[in-house]
Structure 1
Amino acid sequence: MTMQNPTLDPGVDTLPLLDSPWSVRFAHGTRGRVALEVYNAGLLLDVLVAQPLAADLLRGARRTVSNGLSSVLAWGHLPPDGIPPAVELTRRHRAPYAAEPRIGAGVFWLALAQGSFDRVTATHRDGTSERLRVRAGWSR
């Protein structure tokens, strides 16, 4: 499952992500910086504010089941070069899945995939990578 638009921009109240319970909202944070809000079935899970330096490449990853379908949403800050990382989702004893990240508001990336995964790795083209455990969508 991939998102419909390669670039997502501020000005949309809430953007649902296909037929999933995930949605995002772009807003303006402090000092006029762009902010990304991540929701699962209307529950606010995370808020990222654009940071000029040393931002997390991989900020979060959550999973949920809706209408019998599992999905995972991962997100983070774009690196300074503006190219989204390679995003790989894994599950024990299964082949990895390469999720296609989309750029949001020019400073964030999001990757949505259908399936049940327990780890996500984001790798920048310079070889640096960050890895997180995929948490339940409702957990804080």
Structure 2
Amino acid sequence: MNNRQSNANLVLDLDQRGLHLLDSPWSVRFARGTRDRVALEVYNGGLLLDVLVARPLAADVLRGARRGERDGRPSVLAWGHLPPDGAPPDVSFERKHAGSWPAEAVATAGAFWIALTDGCWDRVSATRPDGITEQLRVRAGWSR
């Protein structure tokens, strides 16, 4: 089974192994966590970077952001928990002296969101529906 879907900068390829973000080093896989809750695994070039388990009332919307490269093309992936209303947050990537770049966050597995953009960005912000903005520094894709 191979389903391809495109959403702004996000080109997804879903198969039995997980969700591959085409033209990038990123992939995600869905699994089962404790108490049979859905889990999201985030990978860079096959290296497991993070595991999120769905929570009924997720307080932190923005969980992680990593920078990576594939075939000389830099990209940044951000991910987190969906807010209680189920709508992905407004996401933007930022770089000093270059301003910010909005990116569309896509809901996955009913509990998480992911956003992908090209380029080398330093920070990411996610604004929840209640107006609160969370920010993270973008880390190197291979770091723990």
Q: Name the TM-score, length of structure 2 as normaliser.
A: 0.89
Q: Does 1:110 align with 2:117?
A: no
Amino acid in the other structure paired with 2:58:
A
> Which of structures 1 and 2 has the larger relative contact order (alpha carbons within 8 angstroms, sep 6+)?
1
Aligned length: 137
Q: Quote how far apart the aligned CAs of 1:100 are.
A: 0.6
Deviation digits for residues 50-109 of structure 1, max 9, x if unmatched? 011233100000001221110000000000001110001000000210011001101100
Q: Quote how far apart the aligned CAs of 1:12 are.
A: 4.1
Tell me which residue corresponds to 2:57.
Answer: 53
The structure 1 residue matched to 2:77, chosen from 60, 64, 73, is 73
Q: What are the equivalent positions in structure 2 for 1:78-89 lying under 5 Å apart?
A: 78-89=82-93
The structure with more strand, counted as a fraction of residues: 2
Tell me, in whole angstroms, the C-alpha distance in 1 between the residues paired with 2:16 and 2:49. Answer: 18
The structure 2 residue matched to 1:14, chosen from 15, 18, 30, is 18
Q: Which runs of 5+ in 1 are unaligned?
A: none
Q: Does 1:25 align with 2:23?
A: no
Q: Which runs of 5+ in 2 are unaligned?
A: 1-7
The list of structure 1 runs, each at least 4 consecutive aligned residues, that deviate by more than 6 angstroms after superposition, is none
8 Å Cα contact 1:90/1:97 also seen in 2: yes
8 Å Cα contact 1:59/1:75 also seen in 2: yes
Q: Does 1:93 align with 2:100?
A: no
Q: Quote how far apart the aligned CAs of 1:18 are.
A: 1.2
Deviation digits for residues 20-79 of structure 1, max 9, x if unmatched? 110000011111100000000000000000011233100000001221110000000000
RMSD between superposed Cα atoms in Å: 1.7
Percent identity of paired positions between Structure 1 and Structure 2:
64
Q: Does 1:131 align with 2:135?
A: yes
Q: Name the TM-score, length of structure 1 as normaliser.
A: 0.92
